[in-house]
Amino acid sequence: MQTSGPIRQDINTRHAEGFDEIKPFAKNLYEATCDGKKCLLKTPGDLTSLLRREYDISCNLQHPYILTPLRYAEDTPVGPAIVMEYIEGCTLTEFVAKGQSQEVLRKVLDEILDAVDYLHKKGLIHNDLKPGNILVGNIGNHIKIIDFGLSDKDAEYLIRRLGGTQESSAPEVLEDNPDVPFTASSDVWSLGSIIRQMFPDRYRSVVRKCLRQNPEDRYPDITSLEKALRNADRLRRFLISLPFVFCAIAIVAMSAYSYHRNRLLEEASLKHKIDSIRNEIPQVEELKRRLAELQKDSAYVAKIEKDIKKMYLEAMDTIQNSKLVPYQEFGYFVHRMRYVMRVGDYMREEIPDRYQPEAETYYGKYLYKLNDAIATIPTLEEAFEKGEISEEEYRYYRDLAYEDKPFKPFSRK
């Protein structure tokens, strides 16, 4: 297992308070055996005075996703340590790096939010939430939060003096400003950083609000954050279903039109037979007129399909010539919506009402093809891995995704 920081290697593996088989597990965390059972030893790092405080806090926490302390040991091969239950697994950083499905990561995120919500309801702010302080077990992928040395309100002065972790601590934690208290929104900021690492492209609007500079502009509590995530999931499912909805509408419209058209032709044929018996010569002229109208209709319908197909081919040509469309909103929504609006204007301004069913049929047909083609566009990560773009261009698009700025292509010098 890789670690998130320096680990002592000069460990005396001989017995001390009954511990042996000591080996590194993570930063300030060691795997050991005591009385024949595996356990974890949590060491204080550079803050020995906080270790006892962390033990006292942990003893009052009973939650399935928070690592349980067994006892406090003064003399172990790695010095003073909290003896904790053993978990077979790795840190969240390593877990995400292995490549997990969206469903598995969403389940892990739910467990993290559940544990942090429990802390807040107990009146505790973690103040140091980061992937290195979250363990993920191999069995069931259940999480365990560790490290509560800076959780209680009495430790706030230490946090202001020492500062938090640069990449995962809220601005008010990193700044020495006693006028800005630590609240649940401080942990919300850290959770936003964690969510961004777990889901780089999925919850951007939620992450942006979590990472706002002013604590009052963030989600006030875990319940609000969970609600925002659920709403984002519902919107995502709706957008994914849109191509199938359009396809179904097109099929229904085509079937209804075909049925209506065939029925009209059958009625016209029957009427023709009856009228021809009554007055054969006039009916011949009427038939010629009807045939001329049908031929005219057929030519106009063919023109409609030709025009809509031309718009579709132009959209496809734009997509193929762009070579790289890094995000769904840059490819799917831009090119697809331009096609949709262009065809909509064409149907509204140039197509008479009597030909609208035919136009809608061809519109649905080529929209389905466009959706299918756009789905094959490579992602930004795939382009970077294949060497199609530089690391500078990769970071440019990644940073742009989290900023409220107009889209501007990367300038290649």
- pLDDT for 91-149, tens place per residue? 899 999 999 899 999 999 999 999 999 999 988 888 888 898 899 988 888 999 887 75
Q: Pick the closest to residue 143 from 114, 103, 185 (CA basis).
A: 114
Output the CA torsion sign for 277, 278, 280, 283: negative
Residue 353 DSSP class: G
Please report the domains of the chain, with CATH numbers, ordered by start residue: 19-84 (3.30.200.20), 89-231 (1.10.510.10), 232-377 (no CATH)
What count of other Cβ atoms lies within 10 Å of the Cβ of residue 152?
16
Distance CA 303, CA 365 (A): 15
Distance CA 57, CA 407 (A): 48
* Res. 48: pLDDT tops 80: no
pLDDT at residue number 104: 93
* Res. 203: pLDDT tops 80: yes
User: What residues have CB less than 8 Å from 26, skipping those under 6 apart?
Assistant: 1, 3, 4, 7, 91, 132, 135
Distance CA 254, CA 265 (A): 16
Distance CA 378, CA 175 (A): 41
Mean pLDDT score, 313-340 = 59
Radius of gyration of the chain (CA): 33
Question: 204-226, pLDDT tens digit by residue?
Answer: 999 999 999 888 999 999 999 99
Query: What angle, 0 to 180 degrees and rounded to 10, lies between the N-to-C axes of helices 222-278 and 102-121?
Result: 140
Statement: the pTM of the whole predicted model exceeds 0.85: no
Distance CA 201, CA 326 (A): 11
* Res. 289: pLDDT tops 90: no
Question: Tokens 């003896």 appear where?
Answer: 83
